[in-house]
Each structure stands twice: as structure tokens, then as C-alpha cells.
Structure 1
């Protein structure tokens, strides 16, 4: 697929599996996907002989990833059950077939509610592995 003008976020999916190479299921109802990845920390390697500070790239520091999800009953029950289960393998699948996959622990919280608003919850993923970037065949 050649993209010349950009890509609409519609049809972006958050999927999970119990194994990395297993069948992935769609959580359903995802409204937002956070930034994926993070800036590396900088490590100071300045010596007393230097006239200015010097750094090397350190480890990447990734925050928890928060996905906003529309409450559909079953998707909340599924996500909530993952809190006490073993960590899952996750895949964010974009409409052009590209994806980011990783293993993460799960925490779920209900979001604030308001008059005439959709009920939502947040799935918080704590990454346990590096991110793998790829495309589907």
C-alpha cells in the first residue's frame, strides 16, 4: 500500500493473545491509542578533562500506555479479568497493515462519567518487552 496523503486512524485495532505467535482477538471499542515508545535516557560520560558535558544514549524509558475504550460490557469484563491473569501479548494494528507488538501487564480503571456521555474505561498497559514493529503479509 502506497500512502501519499496520510492515513486515517479509522480501523485501528487493539488486539491481545495469550502467546506471541497465537491468535489475536480484538478488544473492541478503542477510542484512542497513546504514543508508543519513548525517548532514551541520556547517560553522562563527561570527564574532568572535558570542557563541556558529553552524553551517550541510555535505555529507552517507556511510560504506561493508556488506551481509552468505550464500555460494551463484555470488553470491560475481558479486560478486567486480565488484571489477575498472566501478562498478555498485545498488538496495535493500523489500517495499512503495520503493527506494533509487545508483552504487557494490564490494569483497568473506569473513567469519569457525565450527563449524556458514553461510558468509557481505560486499559493501562505496562510494557514488559521491547516493541516489535512490522507489517502483516
Structure 2
């Protein structure tokens, strides 16, 4: 008997003029690498970091406007536009539910991380 796997993938937007670091991630989410969930948060950071490093660099707002496969809110569209004008790095990262537990959780959950140093919007997450 064969089994059918239902996998999903999704995208998120990362905006910052600084490097995405473990410290900035933990500060932003209010978590620690200590305790019973510490390893999960470390894995989440690693998945996001890898996706940002390997993601699609957005250099013009036309890239976002033309991409019908990626739903963003008008507010996020405006943030991207402002960030590009300010010379900030804008990246479209991807996540898959086929990956490790941390990536799967990030893939299927809607989330937003915002500090004065970075902005991550994963509102289009759905499957």
C-alpha cells in the first residue's frame, strides 16, 4: 500500500539593514536556547537563517508586484517599498513542511517578528 504525502511550502519577507543573527532572533522572539524548548528555537533560527541566506533578494518593488504566487498585505507591500528606498535588504525566503520539525512549524504557522532591527512577515503562510 502506498501513502500520499501532503506537503506544503510557503514564503516570507525579511527586511533589515543588519545581519540576521542568533542573538537578534532570540531577542526578537523573547526566547532562549536554554530550557526544554531551547533546541527547537535554535533550529528555528537556523532554518530562517538558511532561508534568508539562500532566498531571493528583492531589488525592486516590481518583483513583488509581479509575483502572483506570493500574497502580501498592502501594509507589507508598503514596508517593502519604503525599505527598498532606504537601501535595506529585502529577501523573500521559503520554507517547506517536508523539512525538519522547526521548518515544518514555521511553514504552517502564520507569524510576524518585528523589532527596530528587523522585520519578518510570514502572513501568507497557509496550506
What TM-score, normalized to structure 2?
Answer: 0.30
What TM-score, normalized to structure 1?
Answer: 0.28
- The structure in which a higher percent of residues are helix is 2
Q: Relative CO higher for 1 or 2, CA cutoff 8 Å, sep ≥ 6?
A: 2
